[in-house]
Structure 1
Amino acid sequence: MSRKTAVAARSKTARKELADDGTVRVPAPGEGKRGEQGYLGYLLRQAHAAVRLTMERALADLGVTSPQFAVLTMLKAYPGLSGADVARLTFLTPQTVGVIIRNLERDGAIVMTPHPVHGRIQQWTLTPRGATLLRACRERVIELEKRLARGLDMKTETAIRRWLTGIATELQED
């Protein structure tokens, strides 16, 4: 089938999605399958990508990436985690966490101590420098969090948090 015949065979709706040069127009976020008609999983991923990109831009001049921020956050919340524990909590691969940990240690943001019982397990904690860096990052991320919650009343925000947590909890069991 020629390109011209294939284009003619499309429905009127599909033809509306063509650019002036005849190529398929990629819908913007919020349009078509990237909008309310899209799969929930795709919409969650799209939202995550937008949040991560915005966070990367907000943290760039501090020299911190979104995954590094996640690692620093988890080590502040749960001091003494192993690299494997950090990987599980941040949804990163152990290899990625290994690189992040080496870089954060090199920069003086975290320090390793051997586990008191299992000497081969390395436990990681924030240094004062790491805590200061995390505070600076947190200020910027809080602004993003406020932007995410803009227009939501407390009841709606609580319901969304419960829904997202429920998804993670339920699907974790699969």
Structure 2
Amino acid sequence: MGDLPDAGEGKRGVDGHLGYLLRQAAHAHRQHVEQRLGNLGLTLPQFSVLTMLAAYPGHSSADLARLALVTPQTMSVIVANLLKAGLIVRTPHRVHGRIQTIALTDAGEAMIKAAKKRVYALEAEMLADLAPETQAAIRRWLTRIAQPETK
């Protein structure tokens, strides 16, 4: 048996299957983000949830699971850890008392501000050698492939 190829080589490179390359890139992105967020004590899924809460405050755990692309069970763990860290607070929904809405605390606002600086700097590094038109095309393409198909 031969040696396994590194990322960028063989089928892990430009001749690779698109789905695999997307997964490989997502995995590398997660590792890089978690390195940047490590000393803040934040994981990429926690960062995603805080980002979604900053953009769309006052939603339920189920809503956040859909926005952050995780299962409801995973979201329960994330919410519990963010509550314990004092970064979020839950309050009963104004109309549906059994539903709890989630919002950032002041500490959560400060955390997401610090985390965004690090993550956005990483993203700028990732895109640095691409022209703005190419960056825009990549964003449009990624958005398009994530949208549900219309029939």
TM-score (norm 1): 0.84
Taking the aligned partners of 1:65 and 1:122, their CA distance within structure 2 comes to: 23
Q: Hey, what does 2:88 align to over in structure 1?
A: 110
Q: Decide which of 35, 41, 45 is 2:13's aligned counterpart.
A: 35
User: Which residue does the alignment assign to 2:130?
Assistant: 152
What is residue 29 of structure 2 aligned with on the other side?
51
Shift of 1:24: 2.0
2:57 maps to 1:88: no
Who is 1:18 aligned against? none
Superposed structure 1 runs of 4+ greater than 2 Å apart: none
Give the structure with higher Rg (CA).
1
Task: Name structure 1 gaps, 5 residues minimum.
Answer: 1-22
How many residue pairs end up in the alignment?
Answer: 151
For 1:47-86, what per-residue CA distance to the aligned partner results, in whole angstroms no more than 9, with x for missing partners? 0000000011111111000100000000000001110111
Give the TM-score, by structure 2 length.
0.96
CA distance in 2, matches of 1:170, 1:149: 26
Match of 1:125 in 2: 103
User: Unmatched 5+ residue regions in structure 2?
Assistant: none
**SS at the partner of 1:53?**
helix
Distance 2:104 2:43 in 1: 16
Q: Percent identity?
A: 53
1:103-136 deviations in Å (ceiling 9; x for gaps): 1111110000111111111100000000001111
What amino acid maps onto 2:16 in structure 1? G
The higher-RCO structure (CA 8 Å, 6+ apart) is 2
Inter-partner Cα distance in structure 2 for 1:93 and 1:100: 11
- Counterpart check, 1:101 vs 2:79: yes
**2: CA distance between counterparts of 1:39 and 1:88?**
27
Distance 1:39 1:86 in 2: 31
Matches of 1:99 and 1:29, distance apart in 2: 32
SS in 1 for 2:147: helix
The corresponding residue for 1:165 is 143
Give the superposition deviation at 1:150: 1.2
Summarize deviations over 1:13-43 as a string: whole Å, max 9, x none.
xxxxxxxxxx321101111110011111110
Secondary structure class of the residue paired with 2:2: coil
